[in-house]
Structure 1
Amino acid sequence: MHCKSCALVTSSGHLLGSKLGEKIDQTECVIRMNDAPTRGYGQDVGNKTSLRVIAHSSIQRILRNRNELLNMSQGTVFIFWGPSNYMRRDGKGLVYNNLQLINKILPRLKVHIITRHKMLQFDELFKKETGKDRKISNTWLSTGWFTMSIALELCDRINVYGMVAPDFCRAPNHTSVPYHYYEAMGPDECTMYISHERGRKGSHHRFITEKKVFANWARTFNIHFFQPDWKPESQSSRYPAVKPMF
């Protein structure tokens, strides 16, 4: 799979009211995450889906909503990721067992999993960019991390919709939006980002650190951010190195 241009559509509440759906759908390849729906939100997020990257924690919601997310997804490629024990093929791998079930129900569906070897590569990439060992720092890489990394391999140009700049949530007058555009009464996005970033007990996503990495990547690769629109400053002084808060 190779695309000259990709729209990477996040699940952020920043997309609500954007009316970017038509522009997104005009992109050669559209990438979405987890169980983010398009039905009822097409005006803002579009309806086309070329690739969907899904976390192990979302698979039950995918199965519950299979009429929308699977049955109506001819031509869509699905990539699932999860801990290696979830992908075991000896009957004890929760995700792998569910994917076998999906394959029986929808044998023509294009379903792939991220292998253990590839997962280790993503871990090493995180350590290289941040200086932090993922496991030692109690960090779970987010679906956004996997999706952006995969998009870099597939796309010549990446237009990211709904992703804020790394320092967005530090601004005193930042806009408050739901973490998911499809959960209007859900948690506030910045509250979620900050609580995970600073968390030390238990495993957490490091959303803000990941966005610092993406900002650095955008200086080298053809990555652009919309809704909100922002550009990493060209000077290396702004994000000279990713310094995690955790």
Structure 2
Amino acid sequence: MKMKIRAYQWVASITAVAVVTTLLVYRGSFGYRSYMPSPSSSSSSAQHSVGPVPTVKKQKIHAPLVGYTGLLDQKPLKMHCRTCALVTSSGQLIGGKRGEEIDQSECVIRTNNAPVVGYQQDVGNRTTLRIVAHSSLYRVLFRRQEMVISSQNTVFIFWGPNSSMRRDGKGHVYNKLRLLKDQLPKLKVYTVTPINMLKFDELFKNETGIDRRGSNSWLSTGWFSMVIAMEVCDQINVFGMVPPDFCRSSSRRSMPYHYYEPSGTNDCSLFLAHERSRRGRHRFIIEKRVFAKWAQTHDIRFYQPEWDPKAVVRMNSSSSSIPAGP
């Protein structure tokens, strides 16, 4: 009888050892991760925690801008800026000493052949993006060293009618750009696609009620620049653009239209002459009213002079702000 009891005890001991060994092997095979306390565990088990799991902020992916394509490869423009300084060519910039402030923006946008050299104190030194009208190409090339050769890190966007920009050998602006690109392969040159050119026209009509072609009005480079800036930039700080009612103010500071042409045409004289013309002119004042409206839904601010777009919109809402057409 004693022999049977000892035999049972021995078997039980062997079985217990086997069970413990199996559990240890099982636990070791899958590691200790499943036994760690989760970040939401109680404070009593906090001493075993390895701390909170760091979160990785996902970078926002910005889609390519398909309306602007590379001169040769026709790849869409990839560009995004958190803050932009949109520097106009206005004489209002003279003496403002905004250069340092302008250069602090992530991206600096300039237009046409507006120079930097000699005007850095007022307009800054950097140029990230230069938007150029077909009619200003030769003026840009006239300052070739500054505008082109020394600016190969700058992105250029050229806009113009299809007759000038066509790629079949008959577009004289495109042909000149192609030659320039051959000479300076690293130059970053983009053009506005024909379809996107039509969209600029359509946008103008939707916002103003004016058919650009029917009225023979010309869109300004300022119009293209503001639209492109809204596609590229999260925040736009505009320097040198006067409010639409500026020329009606008796206290206005009359300045030359371009800061780099001090003896040139007075800004208001030019604005009013174009606005009153029935055909073949820019609509600068009307465009500025639209920009004030856009500033209600986009982060757009105006400096030198500084003005409140909300006040402009309120004033225009109480009157017929934008005519139906010339």
On whether the aligned pair clears a TM of 0.5, the verdict is yes
1:179 aligns with 2:257: yes
Counterpart secondary structure, 2:136: helix
Match of residue 67 from structure 1: 145
1:220 aligns with 2:220: no
1:86 aligns with 2:164: yes
In the alignment, the residues of structure 2 paired with residue 196 and residue 235 of structure 1 have an alpha-carbon distance, to the nearest angstrom, of 21
CA contact (8 A) 2:254 2:268 kept: yes
1:237 aligns with 2:314: yes
In the alignment, the residues of structure 1 paired with residue 184 and residue 321 of structure 2 have an alpha-carbon distance, to the nearest angstrom, of 43
Alignment of 1:9-158 (within 5 A): 9-158=87-236
Describe the superposition over 1:171-206 as per-residue Cα deviations: whole angstroms up to 9, x where unpaired: 1232110000000111001110110011014x1100
Shift of 1:105: 1.4
Name the amino acid aligned to 1:7.
A
Match of residue 73 from structure 2: none
Higher helix share: 2
CA contact (8 A) 1:216 1:239 kept: no
Describe the superposition over 1:65-116 as per-residue Cα deviations: whole angstroms up to 9, x where unpaired: 1101011113210000011100111221111011011101111000000011
Match of residue 6 from structure 1: 84
In the alignment, the residues of structure 1 paired with residue 145 and residue 313 of structure 2 have an alpha-carbon distance, to the nearest angstrom, of 47
1:192 aligns with 2:270: yes
In the alignment, the residues of structure 2 paired with residue 98 and residue 14 of structure 1 have an alpha-carbon distance, to the nearest angstrom, of 33
CA contact (8 A) 2:89 2:240 kept: yes
CA contact (8 A) 1:18 1:44 kept: yes
Counterpart secondary structure, 2:215: coil
Structure exhibiting the larger radius of gyration computed from Cα positions = 2
What is the aligned length? 245
Shift of 1:235: 8.5
CA contact (8 A) 2:292 2:313 kept: no
TM-score, length-normalised on structure 1? 0.96
In the alignment, the residues of structure 1 paired with residue 152 and residue 171 of structure 2 have an alpha-carbon distance, to the nearest angstrom, of 26
Structure 1 gap segments, 5+ residues each: none
Match of residue 39 from structure 2: none
In the alignment, the residues of structure 1 paired with residue 312 and residue 166 of structure 2 have an alpha-carbon distance, to the nearest angstrom, of 46
In the alignment, the residues of structure 1 paired with residue 163 and residue 311 of structure 2 have an alpha-carbon distance, to the nearest angstrom, of 42
Describe the superposition over 1:16-48 as per-residue Cα deviations: whole angstroms up to 9, x where unpaired: 111110110111000000000000000000010
In the alignment, the residues of structure 2 paired with residue 173 and residue 135 of structure 1 have an alpha-carbon distance, to the nearest angstrom, of 36
Structure 2 gap segments, 5+ residues each: 1-78
TM-score, length-normalised on structure 2? 0.73
Counterpart secondary structure, 1:210: helix
Q: Which has the higher contact order (CA 8 A, sep 6+)?
A: 1
Describe the superposition over 1:214-234 as per-residue Cα deviations: whole angstroms up to 9, x where unpaired: 001111110000000001236
Range 214-223 or range 170-179, more displaced = 170-179
Identity percentage of aligned residues? 59
Counterpart secondary structure, 1:237: helix
CA contact (8 A) 2:166 2:174 kept: yes
Describe the superposition over 1:111-156 as per-residue Cα deviations: whole angstroms up to 9, x where unpaired: 0000110000000100000011001111110000000000000000
